[in-house]
Amino acid sequence: MRPSPQLKLTMCDCGNLHLTYRSLTLHFEKTKFYHFAEQVGRMATSISTRLTLPQTTALMNPNGQNVH
């Protein structure tokens, strides 16, 4: 997966993290960023599962387990 140039994570002078996405900048303490990233990762997983599963099953079995 290519990193998006629109999404950037920088360390601030205050020791916190700045997550910049397009024109939006979020300011996190490190531990809160980890928590945030974990949540976002879970959301991405649940969304991609929801979005790709019905399409994938229509084309092929996602696990390669063909039922004959």
For residues 19 and 26, is the Cβ–Cβ distance under 8 A?
Answer: yes
Q: Smaller CB distance to Zn ion: residue 25 or 45?
A: 25
Residues 13-32 that bind Zn ion (CB under 5 A): 14, 16
Residue 12 near Zn ion by CB under 5 A: yes
Q: Smaller CB distance to Zn ion: residue 33 or 37?
A: 33
As a whole number of angstroms, the distance between CA 33 and CA 45 comes to 18
Report residue 5 as tokens.
């140039």
Q: Smaller CB distance to Zn ion: residue 13 or 50?
A: 13
